[in-house]
Amino acid sequence: MTTEKAILTQDKTWFAACRVEDVVENGGVCIKYGDEQIALFYFTRRNEWYATQNECPHKKQMALSRGMIGTKGEEPKVACPFHKKTFSLRTGECLTGDSCSIKTYPVKVEDGLVYIKVDIH
């Protein structure tokens, strides 16, 4: 339902998700935003932040925030802990050849707080 909302409305807002130190280095945590679960990744090695849906579209498991992150070439990616399907953290595209993709969210850090751009519920 969230995807469908995103298409029909343009109403977005920056949501203050957590503090920088709440997030593991070079890994992910799960953010609760209403009924939405967002995987937030701090790619410390590259000093980059990413956010995606937490659900792996393959078997619909809320698990991507527990996955290992890394790169394929220059492309940052996350591997689902269940069956190691990998997805681009930048575009959400599946990198292991499946047609499924994941939603991504813009992230910004200000004054030690991490903000995620989300659809207004």
Q: Is 7 in the site for another protein (CB under 8 A)?
A: yes
CA distances from 37 to 12, 17, 45 (A): 16, 11, 25
Q: Which of 46, 40, 47 is nearest to 24 (CA)?
A: 40
Binding of residue 118 to another protein (CB under 8 A):
no
103 touching another protein, by CB under 8 A: yes
Q: How far is the CB of 78 from another protein (least distance, A)?
A: 8
Closest approach, Cβ 107 to another protein, in A, equals 14
- Give the whole-angstrom CA distance, residue 77 versus residue 93: 9
- The residues, ordered by sequence, that sit 6+ positions from 71 with a Cβ below 8 Å of its Cβ are 77
Residues that bind another protein (CB under 8 A): 1, 3-4, 6-8, 17-18, 22-27, 29-32, 35, 37, 40, 43, 45-46, 53, 55, 57, 59-63, 66-73, 76-77, 79, 81-82, 84, 86, 97, 99-103
